[in-house]
Chains A and B, each alone.
Chain A
Amino acid sequence: MTDEELMRIVQETLVSVAPDLEGETFDPDATFRDQFEIDSMDYLNFIVGLSKRTGLEIPESAYPDLQTPAEVVRWLRGHRAEA
């Protein structure tokens, strides 16, 4: 899966938990919180959605490395390769 496809998964998952972000432009390097006012509840739902969508178990200890869209894409690429 290419990085573009992974980025699309990230965007679709985020919009599914925060539907009012439909159509927003994503800055890959800005944190979810800074660009979209994502709080802990949205974030947890995002991680749940991402886990479902990719089949990957995402530990809580990984959260600090998953704060921007680009970081999530990188993490998914690495862990899909392992799986």
Chain B
Amino acid sequence: MTPFTMPSLGADMDAGTLVEWTRRPGDPVRRGDVVAVVETQKGAIEIEVFHDGTLGRTLVAPGEKVPVGTVLAEILGPGEPMPAEASQSPAPAAAAEPGHAPEPPPAEAPPATRVEPAAAPPAPAAPTPAPSAAGRVVATPAARRRAGEAGIDLAAVPPGPGGVIGLAEVEAVAGRPPSAPAGGETPREARRGGPDLSGMRKAIAAALARSHREIPPYWGSRTIDVTDLYAWLERRNAERPVAERILFAAPLIRAVARALKESPGLNGHLAEDGFRPAEAVHLGIGTALRGGGLVAPALHDADRLDVAGVMAALSDLVPRARAGRLRSSEMTDATATLSSLGEDTSDSLMPLIYPPQVAIVGCGGPVRRPWVVDGEIVVRRVMTVTVGGDHRVSDGRLADRFLARLETVIKEPDAP
């Protein structure tokens, strides 16, 4: 029997609320299967199991908030008998006394689960926020998010046409200096799934304050000519139907991942016991959410996919990040992060590393600039790439090598 515990889905997460079980006791499960959904500050995250087996007893009921490390359920190994009471799930005792302390893993448990058992005894489960009672305001989802992010009480926002509060109405209030200190609770989005943006701001603040406090960073940057890559992209897209078109981000992600693969000091995690370089490149994709907020889910094996494969993975990942439906592995597996601003944005950025990662790559907007090619000044499309590294693991020299390698591989979008 292997305990299935509340995972830590970020440097700052100490507890999560179980939203639902997606499998029932007795169901066979395989490594990577989603068995539960947990509400966190970064949205509802689908939690995967790390072992093949059978879902045994579930010990935490939907609606319970429990500390990281709490045993949520048991995963039975092949041939292990189902406990007798498993058919009635959750056990009444478990519901009455939520938050079971993590048990020491059995001897046969695989090493290195990625959760840290909670040190303190778990607190009683906090009640889940109840949906607002009657008289609730009518507001669009985007307006709710923006209001949450800005700490605006929707009840104080004058509705727009049809009595509905939209983004414009919230922005009108957000733009005004507050007439009184923001009193009361920030409205919490009751709708399942959407990221809680005020909570998300706290999560971003916690992670990046830690980054700023603990990581001695260095940055190196290089401006790279991407004219030929744009031409390649336009040619490729012109001959394909709309559903097969790819974005500039796809060859960029692939090139960054390939260059990272050859820069082990930039790809991995810094743990208590030192730096663990990663074999694979799971590239965190910095994704902005409408109304504010940021999440950087992992695009798995980005160095091994071809451009079409990266595009397919990206098309799957980004909408789920926006909708707040990421998987636990996507929240924890990133070995480095890419922050790409896109066209018509800043020329460059100096990104902060997201711990426990040790590097982040920031791409400014690709712009047309006068550029010297073969001794002549010509108009080229260029992009400034900045890599931030952790001095506890590597030095600026590695950034130079990475950027030189990136400049080469970004010109080879079709390379195997």
Among the listed B241, B243, B247, B290, which residue makes an inter-chain contact with A37, where contact means beta carbons less than 8 Å apart?
B290
> A-facing mask of B68-80, CB < 8 A → 1, else 0?
0000000000000
Residue of B nearest to A38 (CB): B290
Contacts of A60 in B (CB 8 A): 234, 237-238, 245
CB atoms of A20 and B142 under 8 A apart: yes
Contacts of A59 in B (CB 8 A): 238
Among the listed B140, B249, B288, B314, which residue makes an inter-chain contact with A22, where contact means beta carbons less than 8 Å apart?
B140
Chain A binder among B159-167, B331-339, B352-360, B394-402: B159-167
CB atoms of B145 and A20 under 8 A apart: yes
Contacts of B291 in A (CB 8 A): 20, 37
Query: Is A47 an interface residue, CB under 8 A from the partner?
Result: yes
B332: min CB distance to chain A, Å: 23
CB atoms of B315 and A41 under 8 A apart: yes
Query: Is B232 an interface residue, CB under 8 A from the partner?
Result: no
CB atoms of A17 and B141 under 8 A apart: no
Query: Is B370 an interface residue, CB under 8 A from the partner?
Result: no
Instruction: Give the residues from 1 to 52 in chain A that come closer than 8 angstroms, CB to CB, to chain B.
Output: 17-25, 35-37, 39-41, 44-45, 47-48, 51-52
CB atoms of A40 and B249 under 8 A apart: yes
CB atoms of A40 and B166 under 8 A apart: no
Residue of B nearest to A26 (CB): B166
Query: Is A70 an interface residue, CB under 8 A from the partner?
Result: no
Which of A20, A52, A60 has the most C-beta atoms of chain B within 10 angstroms of its own C-beta? A20
The interface residues of chain B, by DSSP majority, are classed as: helix
Instruction: Give the residues from 199 to 234 in chain B that come closer than 8 angstroms, CB to CB, to chain A.
Output: 234
CB atoms of A20 and B290 under 8 A apart: yes
CB atoms of A24 and B249 under 8 A apart: no
Bound CA–CA A45/B161 (angstroms): 29
B254: min CB distance to chain A, Å: 16
CB atoms of B168 and A25 under 8 A apart: yes
Bound CA–CA A21/B291 (angstroms): 11
Once A41-B247, A60-B234 are accepted as A-B contacts, the answer to whether A23 and B164 lie under 8 Å apart by CB is yes
Query: Is B21 an interface residue, CB under 8 A from the partner?
Result: no
CB atoms of B343 and A40 under 8 A apart: yes
Among the listed A19, A20, A36, A47, which residue makes an inter-chain contact with B242, where contact means beta carbons less than 8 Å apart?
A47
> A-facing mask of B5-48, CB < 8 A → 1, else 0?
00000000000000000000000000000000000000000000
Among the listed B245, B322, B343, which residue makes an inter-chain contact with A18, where contact means beta carbons less than 8 Å apart?
B322
Query: Is B248 an interface residue, CB under 8 A from the partner?
Result: yes
> B-facing mask of A37-76, CB < 8 A → 1, else 0?
1011100110110011000011111000000000000000
Bound CA–CA A47/B246 (angstroms): 12
Bound CA–CA A36/B166 (angstroms): 11
CB atoms of B247 and A40 under 8 A apart: yes
Bound CA–CA A45/B117 (angstroms): 41
Query: Is B318 an interface residue, CB under 8 A from the partner?
Result: yes
Bound CA–CA A23/B163 (angstroms): 12
Bound CA–CA A14/B315 (angstroms): 16
CB atoms of A25 and B249 under 8 A apart: no
Residue of A nearest to B191 (CB): A20
Bound CA–CA A61/B238 (angstroms): 8
A26: min CB distance to chain B, Å: 10
| Chain B residues close to A by CB (< 8 Å) | 140-143, 145, 160-161, 164, 166-168, 194, 234, 237-238, 241-243, 245, 247-249, 288, 290-291, 314-315, 318-319, 322-323, 342-343
Beyond A35-B167, A40-B249, A52-B243, 12 extra complex contacts between A and B, CB < 8 Å: A17-B319, A18-B290, A20-B323, A25-B160, A25-B161, A25-B166, A36-B167, A37-B288, A39-B288, A41-B314, A58-B242, A60-B245
